[in-house]
Structure 1
Amino acid sequence: MPTPLPFRASESLHGLSAVVTGGSRGLGLLIADELTDRGCRVTLVARDAAELGRAEELLRQRHPEGSVRTAVTDVRDRKALADLFHRTAADRGGVDVVVANAGIIQVAPAETVGTSGFDDAMGAIFQGALNTSLEALPYLRQSRAGGRLALIGSVGGLLAVPHLLPYSCAKAAVGALAEGLYAEAARDGVSVTAVHPGLMRTGSHLHAVFGGDRRREFAWFSALAGTPLLSMDARRAADRIVTAVQRRRVRLVLTPAARVADKAHGLAPALTARISHATTALLPTAEGEPELRPGIDVEPATPRTLGERLRSVGSALNDRAARAYNERHRTAAERHQA
């Protein structure tokens, strides 16, 4: 029987080499910021070179003495990830901490998203987490500090969320992967932490993609994501995630609402399914545009309907987070001109 990994409260992350995928904006950027604050030498990974450049600049402004580097890499490409970890280990003297955070969010009825949308979600979220984990584990086993791996799931992976089904399916697979890897990697001194955040104010509504009745889908999603009683300050979430990784926690569920939903689904799954069915009546129908468009293009310049006006009030904090965490880097007009 493998022995559990020992927990040492004084265990420090200072000087360790950390890799964060999906690290150019939102939660990934904040996790990288928190790791840098605790003395890690951080490598930011994302697909967009321009976003990575802005993220690196933000971190260097906050941590002039910190050590930050970037790597343009698509986590769906296992060969590219193999090269990334090989270069990082050579440049940084190893890899000690890995946070698999990359992913996409599609907001639309399942029939609007279609099978290709589910394939995209599984590729970016689950396959990305799997590729990252398998390529990182050999290096984490060699870590003198004892490697740490964190997989960012979601409360949406603990129970199915209507109009977010591709995301829920992929995040559920990530949760299963994290639990299985924890059991298998512990004997080699590597801890694996499954993180399941609830709603957070990261500004991700601008990079989520919307289909069907796009404006109404955008309105409900962005309003809920920015409501203080339901959502969590993203910087506080990043602090708790990094602390959980540092302390080698097995599982972390963030936000009181997410913990209640997790326990309710575990105790009474049929009841939670009925409640989910009831709430679906409040969501838009599948009628509308099949093409998925990013929130930054869908966001109305001037709220017209009551729902859009309520959204503009409910998501004010989320809009502020978008500006702070590298989510709102171009206006919709600029995107169309690019």
Structure 2
Amino acid sequence: MTGTGRPHRIHQPRPPERHRAPSALVTGGSRGLGLLIARQLARRGCAVTLAARDAEELERAAALLREWTGTAPHVVVCDVRDRAAVRELMRTTHARDGLDVVIANAGVIQVGPVAAIGAEEFDDALDVIFRGTLHTALEALPYLRRSGGRLGLIGSVGGLLGVPHLLPYSCAKAAVGALGEGLHAEYRAAGVGVTTVHPGLLRTGSDRQAEFGGDTGAESGWFSALAGAPLLSMDGERAARRIVDAVLRRRARLVLTPAARAAQLGHGVAPGLTTRLSALAARALPEPGGDGTVRQGHEAGKPAHPLARRLRDWGSALNDRAAARSNQTRPGPRTSS
């Protein structure tokens, strides 16, 4: 007893608790926006796992992350079109590090008029963008429910309205947007944050890996020019920072770039007018042409018209520098099997 008449309590130290860094998994994390998102997650102290289809590309991405952040990410070769492979990816990541944040970013961009592409391009976009996102979400959610984690789905402004010469991409991203909104509503009460991100044009070097149909030089020219234009596009690193902030804060929705927000607002308030304006814009895009071959940006060539070439070179200058920073300078795997 103590002098106050109260029993003397002997305080024993608690056993040490096991602390671990939050675990983050990024699909499509070997290059472009996915790699920049992984960089932001690593800088926030996450143990990062990169998943993509190309082993060499993943190793280059891991080397870049070590250089940028001093951390060594795990890399896993995984095709998100294969649900069994995604299931194993989630199981092994959870067993090794836990699973707190998952970003479904894997995708493909096909550019060209519908008359110059076929149903195969729509199938490819749906397989990689929508089904890949769906597989990632369905296999991650049981683990995220246990950890109270976060799920980020990368949509696009192209999923908020139909963009001429980007229709396979727009259709697949529209499905991702609907999936994200529905999952947010269903899993909020379970403590899982589901954030759907709709970026506009980003300077990540994506024009190098995009697939072009029709007049491939002209299609590559306009896409590269717009994707690199400072007033229309956003720096990829800045976009990645805002995306990670939104996911960690459990925001339901994020639309990036002023142009994308204006397009979303215009389509919401006056969808008919927005569609008519899109039709006018489509008249300025290249006519169907070419030999029917779909080419990646690095092999599409330059536009034939001198003015179009100058616009492409001007607009893509910043995008070319971004490509070097985000592992986009070498050809990536084609979507079609």
TM over 0.5: yes
CA distance in 2, matches of 1:330, 1:79: 27
CA distance in 2, matches of 1:175, 1:105: 16
In angstroms, what is the RMSD of aligned CA positions?
1.5
* Equivalent residue in structure 2 for 1:254, among 247, 253, 256: 256
* Equivalent residue in structure 2 for 1:154, among 153, 156, 176: 156
CA distance in 2, matches of 1:305, 1:167: 29
Structure with higher Rg: it is 2
* Equivalent residue in structure 2 for 1:194, among 193, 196, 208: 196
Identity of aligned residues (%): 61
Three-state SS of the structure 1 residue aligned to 2:313 is helix
Question: 1:175-222: per-residue Cα shift (whole Å, max 9, x none)?
Answer: 000000001111211010010000000000000000100000000000
CA distance in 2, matches of 1:299, 1:88: 41
CA distance in 2, matches of 1:165, 1:150: 23
Q: CA deviation at 1:111?
A: 2.5
Do the aligned partners of residues 119 and 187 (structure 1) sit closer, same or farther apart at CA in structure 2, a change above 3 Å counting?
same
Q: CA deviation at 1:290?
A: 1.6
Asked whether 1:19 is paired with 2:39, we answer no
Letter in 1 for 2:237: R
Is 2:205–2:328's contact at 8 Å kept on the other side of the alignment?
A: yes
Asked whether 1:129 is paired with 2:133, we answer yes
How many matched pairs? 314
Equivalent in the alignment of 1:4:
none
CA distance in 2, matches of 1:80, 1:106: 25
CA distance in 2, matches of 1:273, 1:42: 41
Three-state SS of the structure 1 residue aligned to 2:48 is strand
* Equivalent residue in structure 2 for 1:90, among 91, 95, 103: 95
Equivalent in the alignment of 2:75:
70
CA distance in 2, matches of 1:172, 1:289: 30
Equivalent in the alignment of 1:319:
320
Q: CA deviation at 1:26?
A: 0.5
Is 2:217–2:304's contact at 8 Å kept on the other side of the alignment?
A: no
Asked whether 1:109 is paired with 2:152, we answer no
Q: After the TM superposition, which parts of structure 1 deviate over 3 Å for at least 4 consecutive aligned residues? A: none
Letter in 1 for 2:309: E
Q: How does 1:23-38 map to 2 (within 5 A)?
A: 23-38=29-44
TM-score (norm 1): 0.91
Three-state SS of the structure 1 residue aligned to 2:51 is strand
* Equivalent residue in structure 2 for 1:54, among 60, 77, 81: 60
Three-state SS of the structure 2 residue aligned to 1:194 is strand
Is 1:214–1:289's contact at 8 Å kept on the other side of the alignment?
A: no
CA distance in 1, matches of 2:298, 2:37: 23
Question: 1:257-283: per-residue Cα shift (whole Å, max 9, x none)?
Answer: 100000000000000000000011111
User: What stretches of structure 2 of length at least 5 have no aligned partner?
Assistant: 1-19
User: What stretches of structure 1 of length at least 5 have no aligned partner?
Assistant: 1-13
